[in-house]
Structures are given as structure tokens and as C-alpha cells.
Amino acid sequence: MSKKIPVIAAIGSILLFLCLAFAQQPVENIDKTRHPNLAAAQYHLVEANRAITAAQEASKGNPKFAEADRHCEQARQLLVQADQEVQYAARAANAAMQH
């Protein structure tokens, strides 16, 4: 049974690495002329993602910051989710303007 724990830990580490390696990032793709407020919100999401990424790079490899890095990664995932919601809002507004 004790041999299973390192294997499970290794698999978990690989899955975490893959998730982080292929994680999406917020992007700026909302038309500023049609939705200036949503485009501004999206801009700030992208900037926040850049700042968090810079913080992660600054502490990379330092085991003292492992917990902080996990929280940074969670924050980045939430920024991606927020970006998706802002994009949905822009699409919904576009649809509403067409009807």
C-alpha cells in the first residue's frame, strides 16, 4: 500500500503540470467601440493575469512560496473564468442589439 502513495502523488503532479501548461489566459477580443465598459473590464483582467504571472515567475523554484503559488494559480483560473463571462456578456449584448 505504501508504494501506491508515491505513484498517486506522481500522477497528481503530472496532471497539475498539464493543467497549468495548457491553461487558458484572458484575452482582449471585445470590440471597444460596441462595448467600451466590457472591453475595459477585459483589459483589466488581462493586466491582472500578467501581474500574477510576473509574481509567480519572481518566486519560481522557491519552496517557501509554494502555497502562494497555488493561490496565484487559482486566481489566474478565476480570471480566465471571469474573462469568459465578460465575453458571454458581450455576445448577449450583441444578440440583444440585433433583435
For residue 22, what pLDDT is reported? 54
In this structure, are residues 86 and 40 in contact, taking their beta carbons and an 8 Å threshold?
no
| Domain-wise residue ranges, the chain | 25-98
For residue 8, what pLDDT is reported? 72
pLDDT in tens, 20-55: 445 589 999 999 999 999 999 999 999 999 999 999
Q: pTM of whole model > 0.85? A: no
Q: For residue 20, what are the contacts with CB-CB under 8 A and spacing of at least 6?
A: 73
Q: For residue 55, what are the contacts with CB-CB under 8 A and spacing of at least 6?
A: 72
